[in-house]
Amino acid sequence: MNQTMPNWLYQRSLLTPDRQAVQYEDQVLTFKQLYGQSVQRAEKLANLGVRKSNHIGVYMTNSLDMVLNIHALFHLGAVVVFLNTKLSARELQYQIEDSKLQFVIMDDHFEEVLSFLSNQKKISMSKVYDLDLLKNTMNAREVVLSNVATMMYTSGTTGRPKAVLQTYENHWWSAVGSALNLGLDHRDCWLVTVPLFHISGLSILIRSMIYGIKIIVHDKFDPVLTNAAIMNEKVTIISVVNTMLQLMIEDLKEVYPPSFRCMLVGGGPVDDFLLEQCKKREIPVYQTYGMTETCSQIATLSPESSMVKLGSAGKPLFPCQIKIMNDGKLCPANQVGEITVKGLNVTRGYYSGTTRAFHEGWFFTGDLGYLDEEGFLYVVDRRSDLIISGGENIYPVEIEQVLQSHPEVIEAGVVGEKHSIWGQVPVAFVVLESTVDTKVLQDFCYQRLAKYKIPKKIYVMDRLPRNATNKLLRHKLKDIQHD
Amino acid sequence: MNQTMPNWLYQRSLLTPDRQAVQYEDQVLTFKQLYGQSVQRAEKLANLGVRKSNHIGVYMTNSLDMVLNIHALFHLGAVVVFLNTKLSARELQYQIEDSKLQFVIMDDHFEEVLSFLSNQKKISMSKVYDLDLLKNTMNAREVVLSNVATMMYTSGTTGRPKAVLQTYENHWWSAVGSALNLGLDHRDCWLVTVPLFHISGLSILIRSMIYGIKIIVHDKFDPVLTNAAIMNEKVTIISVVNTMLQLMIEDLKEVYPPSFRCMLVGGGPVDDFLLEQCKKREIPVYQTYGMTETCSQIATLSPESSMVKLGSAGKPLFPCQIKIMNDGKLCPANQVGEITVKGLNVTRGYYSGTTRAFHEGWFFTGDLGYLDEEGFLYVVDRRSDLIISGGENIYPVEIEQVLQSHPEVIEAGVVGEKHSIWGQVPVAFVVLESTVDTKVLQDFCYQRLAKYKIPKKIYVMDRLPRNATNKLLRHKLKDIQHD
């Protein structure tokens, strides 16, 4: 029999109707109000023909409207497909077609980017406001845990973005696993300055319902406003990536209030220097390892261990397991291999079909790392070639394919270069048919890729380092950089 | 595919090896020690032939050994069948046969009560200590959530005790549902003075593993020792029933420390007078409704609501649903009907087979109650005829059947009578063949029933009130008492 639960937001509004649920700019809604408004929003969207299991795109920057749309689509039993607002029109077009979207709900100002879509396929917020209510269309009085709730795109080593299927069950276990690790207090308030279209942001919205805690939503990250919110608005937890933490520290003049209990940092280990600064300012840093496929954290390092286990991402969450594999064999402690994870928060696969990454309930992340004798995880390299730039994942092969599609480029290789603000930025190595200004190649990329993916430098080479089977050896490119 | 998790105690010992797990008398074990000792215990029990899915009885009073036995049996993948230590030999014999026990692990001093069992069928703790270790017999590296973990007997309206199947899933969702309501702090310490063979006690042991918190185990309830533990041992939560709370208040000279955050009271609403006394002493009383079939709480009333919602058992836990049914129809707010519950903490049925109590995922509790317009549950009557005496459930029909088996008794009816200490005690009404001293009947019961079930008074009647279909009208017996 299908496992079910009461509709999460309904249940929360029944249990704690008067607690604050969400704050955005000068608007604050209680759970009862949020539920009421999201049901109204659902009745509007139902008028557009949204029904159970339909795939609906959300292409918005963080806002109360985005929050309401997400809840409304959950009420209708639709699958919410999140589109990264930084993508190029070509990238968007691919994802919209691949995920078979019925339509995309967008902020008005995104109209132009989606010019390739017909008017029935893109619904601006202005249009949504004007819709009549189609009453009694709430489908999801119960949550069926095995149903897909959301889809988010991630690129694999193949470079083709794939939609990760995230079920209600995945989200539930992620939220519960996190609470069992971080503890739970109904006075918690979680600040959302990361995008809701990323799992880092969405997972906070979902925890809010399940825990009954308030979230404060910022439309984008600003270190000054973020610090101000922590100082003055009783924020107790925030999710950030390395880059953000660094900017916050640079801006911070005082110490955070003692009620601020958790700085959850994803996207790679925090370096010693930054960690030392955090310690000096008594900031409780929890370093974490997770990905879209694990619906947020799968391992987290508590502050007590951060100085003794420098560079570690901590231990698995209670419901999760981590093992290190190499050539089908389990690696002993301290030996590097592929990080392999299991847990009910882990996706069952991609919309376009499962891959070799899933085996007997275990997901092979493609990331390299090891476990020490005490079970602490150390991530050595994300997916061997993944570049993380300001919290965004960049897959080299995606950029390489674009470069190679230029008539004058014979072959291309992309790697990450250290960057003081973004952590890493992509740089490219190309072999050319004839002389071309690298500026032309960057412009070529600009038309096809999100801005953060455009190589910041392009080096022209005679040939690229390849192994006997002609596989590009990206680590050799890194060596070239270091020369 | 079967949902799995890492072995709970293993995972806890991996994540927080050095946190205190359990305290009993002058012994304190960390999670690492508890795990190590429970694995050793498992290796001893394996030497007795315990294998996966075997039914093993535990007939013990609270102790560290009992805790170790429970964990050890979980490690072996065995089903732990709990036997109430207050039962008579006849009652025990029935349950041991019905649940097809391979053997019973018992405290040494229970040897005599189980004289009806062969020596292979009863294993005293002295015998367990002497066993050799059968190494590498740990079966349960993973918990399969749908597997049955424990069985506990409860009587229905039929009077035949039935074994409730409690899966790992049921226990998990119960623990998580409770944490989402009460909050979670790794510094919590939960005092166990209720029996571990009841779900009220066992559920605390399970929460301890999942939450990573300490439990202090007392072998029995003593109000003075309980108050001392709260005052001096950093206890933050305790589970009690009405009767216990009253005795604690009578003994209490001071106020509990502010770190004591939750007095969880089961077994019926706390009366106004007692609640008023608790308020005066700033005791945070959480009234709760639950049963063996729901693996502990399914609804809980928070202290903020206790004075405005006098007599209520609160709202459902987050993962749970409650509806009130009457003749197959949903009752509107404030109308009394049968309390019907749903949730992944709810048993899938009894060992002897499911009954009409389960329908489309809903469990019909047999208890009467209503929901007010805000969704607060009021329990009007437990299973219409259930008697709760000092936290123990007494089913009248069980006592009636014993009385009727006496040659001089024609018919018998049993109801609860108010009692200042125990809340209620059973009293009987009998129609006799010829004159018998009621003392004789009480002795007759004494040989066949647990002490708390023996009618404190027996009234001789000419006939019992019955309806047209000859059904005993117990409420009319109550009216007779009130005359």
Per-residue pLDDT reduced to its tens digit, B192-207: 999 999 999 999 999 9
From the CB of residue B273, how many other CB atoms can be counted at a distance below 10 Å? Answer: 9
Which pLDDT value is given to residue B110?
A: 96
Same domain, B364 and B320: yes
| Residue A470 within a domain | yes
Name the least confident of A116-130, B259-273, B437-451.
B259-273
**pLDDT at A263 > cutoff 90:** yes
Same domain, B378 and B405: no
d(CA A184, CA A441) in angstroms, rounded, equals 51
> Which residues in chain B are closer than 8 Å to A9, comparing Cβ atoms?
none
Burial status of residue A250 (CB atoms within 10 A of its CB: 0-12, 13-18, 19 or more): exposed
Is A344 a domain residue? no
A271 occurs within a structural domain? no
Q: Which of B145, B371, B143, B297 is nearest to A145 (CA)?
A: B145
Q: What is the mean pLDDT of residues B93-98?
A: 96
pLDDT digits (tens, 9 = 90+) for A359-413: 888 999 988 899 999 999 998 876 657 788 888 888 888 898 899 889 999 889 9
For the stretch A270-307, pLDDT in tens is: 878 888 899 999 999 999 999 999 999 999 998 878 77
Return the sign of the alpha-carbon dihedral for residues B368, B372, B374, B379.
negative
DSSP string, B260-307: --EEEEESSPPPHHHHHHHHHTT--EEEEEEEGGGTEEEEEE-HHHHT
Structure tokens that stand for A11 in this block: 């249940």
Q: Kindly list the residues from chain B whose CB atom is less than 8 angstroms away from the CB atom of residue A179.
A: 179-180, 184
| pLDDT grade for B311, boundaries at 50, 70 and 90 | confident
Averaged over B144-161, what is the pLDDT? 84
- The alpha-carbon gap from B342 to the nearest alpha carbon of chain A, in Å, equals 9
Q: Once rounded to an integer, what is the mean pLDDT over residues B299-313? A: 86
On whether the CB atoms of residues B368 and B381 are closer than 8 A, the answer is yes
B6 in contact with chain A, both atoms CB, cutoff 8 A:
yes
Residue A415 inside a domain? The answer is: yes
Lowest mean pLDDT among A20-24, A100-104, B116-120, B278-282: B278-282
Which DSSP string do the residues of A374-424 spell out, in sequence order? Answer: T--EEEEETTTT-EEETTEEE-HHHHHHHHHTSTTEEEEEEEEEEETTTEE
pLDDT per residue as tens digits for the range B62-83: 999 999 999 999 999 999 999 9
State whether residue B359 sits within 8 Å of chain A by CB: no
Kindly report, residue by residue over A190-240, the tens digit of the pLDDT. Answer: 999 999 999 999 999 999 999 999 999 999 999 999 999 999 999 999 999
**When comparing pLDDT for B207 and B400, which is higher?**
B207
Give the C-alpha separation, A116 to A139, whole Å.
32
Verify that B255 and B234 share a domain, yes or no.
Answer: yes
Share of chain B above pLDDT 70, in %: 96
If one compares A459 and B355, the residue with the highest pLDDT of the two is A459
**What's the pLDDT at A468?**
63
Show the CA angle centred on residue B471, arms to residues B465 and B475, nearest 5°: 50
- If phi > 0 it is left, if psi is from -120 to 50 it is alpha, else beta; for residue B79 that is beta
The pLDDT value recorded for residue B354 is 63
Same domain, B359 and B372: yes
What's B463's domain CATH number? 3.30.300.30
Contact B6 A321 (CB under 8 A): yes
- Show residues of chain A in contact with B345, CB under 8 Å: none
Q: For residue B276, tell me if it sits in a domain.
A: yes
Domain extent at residue B33: 1-16+24-144
Do residue B6 and residue A176 have CB atoms under 8 angstroms apart? no
Interface of B with A in 288-317 (CB under 8 A): 315-316
Q: Considering all CA atoms of chain A, what is the largest pairwise distance in Å, rounded to the nearest integer?
A: 69
User: Does residue B358 have a pLDDT over 70?
Assistant: yes
CA dist B212 and A441 (Å) reads 55
The answer on B316 and B202 residing in a single domain is yes
Shared-domain flag, residues B410 and B305: no
pLDDT tens digits for range B38-61: 999 999 999 999 999 999 999 999
Closest listed residue to residue A174, CA positions, set A323, A296, A314: A296
Q: Say whether pLDDT at B213 is over 90.
A: yes
pLDDT at position B382, please? 65
C-alpha to C-alpha distance for B125 and B128, rounded to whole angstroms? 5
Q: Is there a domain that residue A213 lies in?
A: no
- pLDDT grade for B140, boundaries at 50, 70 and 90: confident
Q: Could you tell me if residue B150 is inside a domain?
A: no
pLDDT of A10 over the 60 cut: yes
A141–chain B Cβ distance below 8 A for any pair: no
Report the pLDDT value the prediction gives residue B48, as an integer from 0 to 100.
94
In a domain, A400, yes or no: yes
Q: What is the pLDDT of chain B when averaged over all its residues?
A: 92
Q: Which amino acid is at A267?
A: G
Examine the domain organization and report whether B210 and B74 are in the same domain. Answer: no
Provide DSSP, A143-155: EETTSEEEEEEEE
Burial of A177 (0-12, 13-18, 19+ CB in 10 A): buried
How much is the CA Rg of chain B, to the nearest whole Å? 22
How far apart, in whole angstroms, are the C-alpha atoms of residue B285 and residue B349? 31
- Out of A23-27, B49-53, B299-303, give the one with best mean pLDDT: A23-27
Q: Which is nearest to A198 in space by CA: A58, A398, A31, A354?
A: A58
Chains A, B: CB pairs < 8 Å: 67
Give the integer Cα–Cα distance in Å for A14 and A32. 8
Cα separation of B388 and B396, whole Å?
A: 11
Candidates B43, B42, B100; CA nearest to B73 is B42
**Least confident residue range of A53-67, A309-323, B259-273:** B259-273
Residue B156 predicted with pLDDT over 60: no
Mutate to test the interface with B, among A318, A321, A341, A359 (most CBs of B within 10 A): A318
Cβ separation of A180 and B179 shorter than 8 Å? Answer: yes
B3 and B138 housed in the same domain: yes
In chain A, how many domains are there?
1
Looking at the structure, tell me whether residues B115 and B126 fall in a common domain.
yes
Q: Does B141 touch chain A (CB under 8 A)?
A: no
Instruction: Give the pLDDT band (50/70/90) at residue B304.
Output: confident
Q: What is the pLDDT of residues A162-186, one digit of tens each?
A: 999 999 999 999 999 999 999 999 9
Asked if A15 lies within 8 A of B211 by C-beta distance, the reply is no
Say yes or no: B279 and B395 in one domain: no
B336 and B245 share a domain?
yes
pLDDT at A384: 56
pLDDT tens-digit series, residues B228-247 = 999 999 999 999 998 899 99
Write down the pLDDT at residue B1.
59
The tens digit of pLDDT for each residue in A131-167 reads 999 887 777 789 999 999 999 998 655 567 899 999 9
Count of Cβ atoms closer than 10 Å to residue B25 Cβ: 11
pLDDT band at A34 (very low <50, low <70, confident <90, very high): very high
Distance (Å, whole) CA B217 – CA B192: 5
Residues 6+ apart with CB under 8 A from A455: A399, A403, A414, A426, A427, A428, A441, A442, A445
Between CA A406 and CA A410, with CA A409 as vertex, the angle to 5 degrees is: 130
Q: What is the CATH number of the domain that holds B61?
A: 3.40.50.980
Alpha-carbon span A346 to A323, nearest angstrom: 14
Instruction: Let me know whether B323 and B206 are in one domain.
Output: yes
Least CB-CB distance to B184: which of A4, A184, A361?
A: A184
For residue B60, which of B41, B77, B43 has the smallest C-alpha distance? B41
Residue B34, pLDDT score: 98
For B405-433, the DSSP string reads TSTTEEEEEEEEEEETTTEEEEEEEEEES
Give the pLDDT score at B158. Answer: 57
